[in-house]
Structure 1
Amino acid sequence: MRRIISICKEVPLLPIAIIAAIPLALLGSWRPWEAAGVSLTFGPFNPGVGQWIVIALVVYTIVVTVIGMIDDLRHGHVGVDLLAVIAIASTVAVQEYWAAWAVVLMISSGEAIEEFAQSKAEGNLTALVDAAPRTAHVVTLPGVGARAAAAGADGTAGDAEGDMTADGFRKVASVDVPNAAETNKSTTQTKPYDAAGEHFETVPVDQVKLGDVILVLPGETVPVDGELLSGVATLDLSNINGEPVPREVYAGARVLSGAVNGSTALTMRATQLAQDSQYQKILELVSSAQESRPTVVKTADVLAVPFTILSLAIAGIAWAVAGTPLRFAQVLVLATPCPLLIAAPVAYVAGTGRLAKAGILIKAQDVLENLGRVSHIFFDKTGTLTVKQPQVVRVEKPFENSSPYDENHILMMAGVVEGYSVHILSKGIAAAGQKAMQELYARYENGQRLCAERDLPGHGRDYPVVKNIEEQSGKGVSGEVNGHAVRVGRFAYVTADEAGFTHVLGAGAAAGIAAGAVADSAVGDSATGTAAGASKKPEVNSLFAPLEPDEMAAYVAIDGKLAARIVLRDVPRENAKSSLEKLHRLGVKKLSMLTGDKEASARIIAGEVGIDDVQSELFPEGKVAAVKNATEDAHQNQPAWDKVVQRVVGESMTRQVTMMVGDGVNDAPVLAVADIGMAMTDGTSTAASESAQVVIMNDDIASVPRAIAIARRTKKVMLQAVLVGLGLAIIGMIAAAFNLIPVVVGAFMQEAIDVVSILWALTALLDRE
């Protein structure tokens, strides 16, 4: 009911036209002025009360429509409502008042249907806009956040310096504030809310300052980008990247504007202003897509002109042959350009919304059209076809295995210290260590301090005790984990020990070194001590099998002895191969990989995901040249007849499109040179949108074929809606020209044709995957 009322407000002529049917039916031929001897006859016209009401509606409708046509022409759109104006005037001219009323109803209800269809098609996009945060709860506890710092600078907040803790909160003992926990005993809110109590101020989101501490209550939207201060939070990121499963984040993690907080209140510190936050960038992309008009829709506008001429020609011939102007009216009431003017843009807006719901944002609707033409796709390797950091594939112990630790113990301790490192391999080892820690915790009784199989302290703890972390840039990281000295990094780094290699490698290896069995090593750049009587460094290949071309390794020493080598490699995404197979099924002719990696490692990944064309060892300019050449070749291969069609209607029928898919971090130049640049992100940044026309917000390579499938289905639906609508209209006009369809019936049939074509266009919203 609310939606109906809203439509009636948008199209006030609709309820008026509906109500006008009552006096037309009851008072259509009533002429009370004749009793007084007054005549309102104008030539052949002698309308009654109800018929005069219809004439007034017709005049009003014609005036409004003509004004709209003029406005359209001023904005560069073709005003093709001329058919409606002529049709409604012709029905009055032949004194078909019910037909005139039906045409007025048709025009007004057509506007209502268009309004409904546009709102339905834009539903997913509108939902993103409606979800935008508008207010924020800024914590006003003394000494907290940017506002307190500003107040302190003015001398109004006391002596804050020295009383502040590292996270920006004032020490509890240094300020006299009410005990929020006591004042909120009756509430079941969570600790962040209890801590703030009533001490927060709700302000418009654009008034949030950098450094403000913000309280986000359960179910509320995070207002700006920031850093989580409270211990743990569960965030729904579906508005950002379409991810249906909430994500759990911990203190220190980045929280994004637009995320919806779960059942626990959280506190955060603002690190971006509202206009610079993540969700605002998403809204800018959505706004850009909504305001754009694809070439195919512009072409539909142009084609509406010859359709108008054709309709007038059929109507004129029918009038000339039949010898009655009624036939002219009969034809024109069935002439509807709505499949071109409404169904086409509705389909494309629906397709854009469907992409947004899938976590795929486009800059303009022209991109949606071009996505359906993609024939050659270039992929960056690292972070696009593969996961974003190398993954642990195995743990190897030295040939002389004297280490008492199994694989999980080694990964757990190495992962703990690597969690403090910024090295490229650190995240992969840390992730493997976290998994190993969970397995160890499940194996041992909760809180058990000794392993059941070995007398090793503390490995059953949920959280290991970590001390003395130290990283040496380019070499490795060391620390103490549950009382064990752990080193992870280059071979030379982990085997460097004041006690010599006897202590590090064990007696057997040392004896081999002393006997000269171990050759000089070129691994590492740090000199090490030597065993007694030995002047040689240990060689990696004497202790481990050679690595494959695409593998990397980090070495682990525990308590001064080399324990293992952790082998990592770039690993294809789990769904990379299936996604590329789907691209082939969609008709994409060629898939290529562009990478700066060496040929051998690039070929291995390409073989695993199913790519034949590999261009390796490329600098950024080499990638740009490869894509540029392919793009130019595709354009040069366009047939001459298609170039003529493109000049006439503004749209190519056969032109092939190239697309580059990258992670958007270092791919800006090559993304910009392709016909379509597609950046895969995890929703934490839309910086790639500066150079990319498509931004995948869920970091899922399966979104690449999904985007193409949605684009092709959108165009298919649009063409079906237009062709079905125009086909039915032309068949109806021909039938009316032979007097097979009465003028009143024709007016209602035209409305039915509009409804069919528009509803057909809305099927672009449906998920057919």
Structure 2
Amino acid sequence: MDKVLAAIRKYPFVVATLAVAAVAGLLLTSSWSALSTWLLGGFALLMAGRSAVTMVRELRQGTFGVDILAVTAIVSAVLVGEYWAALVIVLMLTGGEALEEYAANRAKRDLTALLSRAPQSGHRVLPDGSTEEVPIEAVAPGDTVLVRAHEVVPVDGVLLTGFGVFDESSLTGESLPVERSAGEEVLSGGVNGSVAVTLEVTRAAKDSQYQQIVDLVEAAAASTSPMVRLADRIALPFTAVALLIAGVAWFISGDPVRFAEVLVVATPCPLIIAAPVAFMAGMSRSAREGAIVKSSATLEKLYRARSFAFDKTGTLTRGEPSLVGVRAVGSVDADEVLRLAASAEQSSSHVLAGAVITAATGRGLSLSGSTEAEESTANGVTARIDGRTVLVGKRSFISGAVGTQVDRPALEAGELGVHVAVDSAYAGMLVFRDEVRKNARATVDDLRAQGIGKIVMLTGDDQVTAEHVAASLGIDDVRANCLPVDKVHAVSALSERPVVMVGDGVNDAPVLAAADVGIAMGARGSTAASESADVVILQDDISRVAKALAVGRETVTVALQSIWVGIGLSTALMLVAAFGLLPAIAGAWMQEAVDVVAILWALRAATGRKDTTSAAIQRANAPQASAIAA
């Protein structure tokens, strides 16, 4: 009984239409049969009036809606005595609204899964060891929280207990649980394993990884696309064609019933429903495959994309360079150069900062605290360490600081140098090597196979290093020594548009915002990059970029197909009805079938092809998958 009442509340007009049909059917079998026509005709005209109000409202907003066809069809069917056909059209309209809601919810299911799992509270550990449940907003950095077995991690934090296992599939798409040891970061949104753990909170809930993804999903779910308005652009010519066919059929046959029979099958619900359902389905699919698309308009831009630009470090390369040598100059020895550089880099957000610190601690060097630390974006960092002024960064940055030109170092292909100055004197260079991602070349090849003609690599690194990486990837357009503003200018100057930019760091945020479509490698990248991007890749996997492009192109293709399938079937039925071969009541039911076909076609965007990953990417990923399985 509760389900019946819920259905009545959720779909009142559908229920009312079915109730009228049932009552009219009973009246036909009684002595009150004449009342059935009044009931059917009166209810149909009442619902036509409801649609007319909506139509007038749309016209005032400057939109020519397609409801005029439905209203005309209902009125004409009533006027020629086709009362049951008029009721079927009403059922089509009310049922179409209900079916649209169901289809959108079905398509949006994966997209909104993160929202439904958002934690609302956390278990804060008190000084006496007890816990209290507090709203998630009350948990602050520095607090200790308890995450019980199989609970969602509520905030970002550092693991305090010795060991933990977390399911991060909803964040990254990685199906296997990940292991974390004491001192490692645990991201919110993952599901804890079978053992309770404690975390020291590093970020408030509103700044946590999970909340950022939730915000992206909310923006994605609320977005609309210019593509969806295609129905409005087609509505006017479609209405004109339908009225023309109906008018000619009436004129030639001399039978006004023919006019109603044509309009009954012209009611264009597929035109209204198909595109929104397809776009929501595509966004749902993208989220399920590890990429949050912020707006459905982004899918349309991906469909038309003609060029791609890539950041190098952390995007095409692993972003985890390892130290291969320290070249000390002057009175400061190699270990001290490395120690001072690592101490200064503690205040830096650059991707190389972690590598410098890791190299120093790996050699057992004790780092000092820094004061007066200041970072120059894309150049380097300056800090006071143990009373000395230490600069770490690019060769040009150090040359300007010491007042003399630092010679270009002799580096092997693929190596990069981080230069160090101490008290205005050049102290030496740290030599690192950053490996190209195993599936980066396959991703570039896949993009070209999908029709991307222009691929550019933008980097702040020296030309020699940049060209070596680009050559291994088959990229012939390389822009080296780029500051953030240079990257913006390079992307803005590309003539092959729309252009898609892929990056991951703070310095990529401006160019991601400037590109037609910005894609951030959010699993490793900064908050600034993720907020500036249109698409956020949740897994640290560059091949997801090619998948996002494939999803965008398939989604728009399916949306267009579903629209034209609906229009084509409706037009064919109109022509059949024009020759008097399709009675009004039969035509009304045939139009219902057209609606179902168009919606089911649009839902294909939720699955697409069975595998959008190219064979080359599958081969590149295979060794990694085998290692994980082992």
Taking structure 2 as the reference length, the TM-score comes to 0.79
Backbone CA RMSD of aligned residues: 3.5
Alpha-carbon distance in structure 1 between the residues aligned to 2:550 and 2:492 = 25
> Partner residue of 1:200?
131
1:298-447 equivalent positions in 2, closer than 5 A? 298-391=229-322
Task: Give yes or no for contact 1:236–1:262 (8 Å, CA) kept in 2.
Answer: yes
Change (3 A) 1:27 1:604: same
- The offset of 1:673, in angstroms, is 2.2
Answer yes or no: is the 8 Å Cα contact 2:278–2:558 preserved in 1. Answer: yes
Q: Using the alignment, how far apart are the partners of 1:712 and 1:757 within structure 2?
A: 19
Query: What is the aligned counterpart of 1:580 among 444, 454, 477?
Result: 444
Pair 8,354 (structure 1): closer, same or farther in 2 beyond 3 Å: farther
Q: Whole-Å Cα distance in 2 between the matches of residues 358 and 732 of structure 1?
A: 39
2:136 matches 1:295 = no
Matched, 1:707 2:548: yes
Shift of 1:267: 1.9
Structure 1 residue 686, shift from structure 2 partner: 3.6
Please name the residue that 2:400 is paired with. Answer: none
Specify whether residues 7 and 381 from structure 1 end up closer, same or farther in structure 2 by C-alpha distance, changes over 3 A only. farther
Alpha-carbon spacing, 1:234–1:767, altered in 2? closer, same or farther (3 Å): farther
Deviations 1:262-306 (A, max 9, x none): 222222233333333222222222222222221121232221122
Q: Find 2:94's aligned residue among 108, 123, 129.
A: 108
What are structure 2's unaligned runs of at least 5 residues? 327-337, 371-409, 419-429, 613-630
Q: In structure 2, what is the equivalent of residue 437 of structure 1?
A: none
Corresponding residue for residue 595 of structure 1: 459
1:453 is matched with which residue? none
Structure 1: which amino acid aligns with 2:21?
Answer: A
Give 2:43's aligned residue.
57
Structure 1 residue 56 displacement after superposition: 4.1
Distance 1:361 1:76 in 2: 32
Stretch moving more, 727-736 or 19-28: 19-28
Q: Report the AA paired with residue 135 of structure 2.
A: P
Residue type at the aligned position of 1:297? V
Encode CA deviations 1:669-717: one digit per residue, 9 max, x unaligned: 2222222222112167543233222221212110111111001101111
The Cα of 1:547 is off from its aligned counterpart by: 5.3
2:107 matched to 1:243? no
Distance 1:206 1:2, change over 3 A: farther
Letter of the aligned partner of 2:89 in structure 1? Answer: V
Tell me by how many angstroms 1:469 deviates. 4.6
2:456 equivalent to 1:470: no
Compared CA separation, residues 432 and 385, structure 1 to 2 (3 A):
same
CA distance in 2, matches of 1:205, 1:73: 46
Q: Kindly state the Cα deviation for residue 568 of structure 1 after the two structures are TM-superposed.
A: 4.6
SS at structure 1 position matched to 2:548: helix
Counterpart Cα distance in 2 of 1:310 and 1:432: 72
Match in the other structure for 2:333: none
- What is the SS of the residue equivalent to 1:739? coil
Question: Aligned in 2, Cα 1:260/1:687: closer, same or farther, shift over 3 Å?
Answer: farther
Counterpart of 1:677 in structure 2 is: 518
Could you report, residue by residue, the CA deviation over 1:164-203 in whole angstroms, capped at 9, with x for unpaired residues? xxxxxx6xxxxxxxxxxxxxxxxxxxxxxxxx6xx43333
SS of the residue aligned with 1:48? helix
Distance 1:359 1:334 in 2: 41
> Pairwise mapping of residues 22-37 of structure 1 onto structure 2 (< 5 A)?
22-28=22-28, 30-32=30-32
Match 1:728 to one of 561, 566, 569: 569
> Within 5 A, what are the aligned runs for 1:131-170?
131-139=117-125, 141=126, 144=127
Cα distance in structure 2, aligned partners of 1:726 and 1:617: 53
Counterpart code for 2:83 = Y
Equivalent in the alignment of 1:751? 592
Does 2:13 match 1:13? yes
Q: Determine which structure has more spread, i.e. the larger CA radius of gyration.
A: 1
Aligned AA (1:81)? D
Find the counterpart in structure 1 of residue 427 from structure 2: none
Does structure 2 retain, via aligned residues, the 8 Å contact 1:242–1:357? yes
Q: Deviations 1:90-133 (Å, cap 9, x if unpaired)?
A: 22222222212211221222112111111112112221211211
Q: In 2, are the aligned partners of 1:664 and 1:681 still within 8 Å (CA)?
A: no
Determine the C-alpha separation between the residues in 2 that align with 1:598 and 1:369: 36
Cα deviation 1:573-612 (Å, max 9, x = unaligned): 0100111110110010011111222222211111111111
Partner of 2:623: none
Match of 1:99 among 85, 108, 111: 85
1:558-707 matched pairs, under 5 angstroms: 568-630=432-494, 633-634=495-496, 656-682=497-523, 685-707=526-548
Give the match's secondary structure for 1:243.
Answer: coil
Q: How much does 1:748 deviate?
A: 0.5
Letter in 2 for 1:573: R
Tell me if the contact between 2:345 and 2:357 (Cα under 8 Å) persists in the aligned partners: no
Identity %: 44
**Distance in 2, Cα, partners of 1:746 & 1:87:** 11
SS in 1 for 2:507: coil
- Structure 2 vs 1, CA of residues 88 and 686 (structure 1 numbering), >3 Å: closer, same or farther? farther
Q: Which residue of 1 aligns with 2:628?
A: none
In the aligned structure 2, how far is the partner of 1:747 from the partner of 1:97? 11
Partner of 1:645: none
Whether contact under 8 Å (2:172, 2:539) holds in the other structure is: yes
Residues 467 and 283 of structure 1, relative CA distance in 2, 3 Å threshold: closer
SS at match of 1:667: helix
1:67 to 1:226, Cα distance in 2 relative to 1, 3 A: farther
Which of the two has greater helix per residue?
Answer: 2
Residues 432 and 585 (structure 1), Cα distance of their counterparts in 2 relative to 1, 3 Å cut: farther
Matches within 5 A, 1:390-539: 390-391=321-322, 469-471=365-367
Paired AA for residue 571 in structure 1: E
- 1:394-421 CA-to-partner distances (Å, cap 9, x unmatched) read 899xxxxxxxxxxxxxxxxx9xxx9999
Q: Say whether the 8 Å CA contact 1:30–1:50 is kept in structure 2.
A: no
- Partner AA of 1:66 in structure 2: A
Q: Give the SS at the match of 1:124.
A: coil
The TM-score, its normalising length taken from structure 1, stands at 0.65
Residue of 82, 95, 107 corresponding to 1:121: 107
Q: Is the 8 A contact 1:31 1:49 kept in 2?
A: no
CA distance in 1, matches of 2:253, 2:604: 41
Matches of 2:553 and 2:353, distance apart in 1:
42
What is the distance in 2 between the residues matched to 1:267 and 1:274? 16
The equivalent of 1:517 in structure 2 is none
Aligned to 2:421: none
Aligned pair 1:232/2:175, yes or no?
no
Return the alpha-carbon distance in structure 1 between the equivalents of residues 4 and 60 of structure 2. Answer: 31
CA distance in 2, matches of 1:700, 1:94: 63
Q: Pick closer, same or farther for the CA change 1:270–1:426 going to 2, 3 Å.
A: closer
Do the aligned residues in 2 keep the contact of 1:228 with 1:268 (CA within 8 Å)? yes
Contact between 1:347 and 1:714, CA under 8 Å: does it hold in 2?
yes
Question: 1-side partners of 2:267 and 2:246: how far apart?
Answer: 13
Give me the whole-angstrom Cα distance separating, in 2, the residues matched to 1:129 and 1:592: 36
What is the distance in 1 between the residues matched to 2:463 and 2:288? 38
Deviation at 1:766, TM superposition (A): 0.3
Label 1:715 to 1:467 Cα distance change in 2 as closer, same or farther (>3 A).
Answer: closer
Would you say the 8 A contact 1:23–1:49 is kept in 2? no
Cα distance in 2, alignment partners of residues 113 and 241 from structure 1: 32
Distance in 2 (alpha carbons) for counterparts of 1:5 and 1:249: 49
User: Structure 2 vs 1, CA of residues 552 and 330 (structure 1 numbering), >3 Å: closer, same or farther?
Assistant: closer
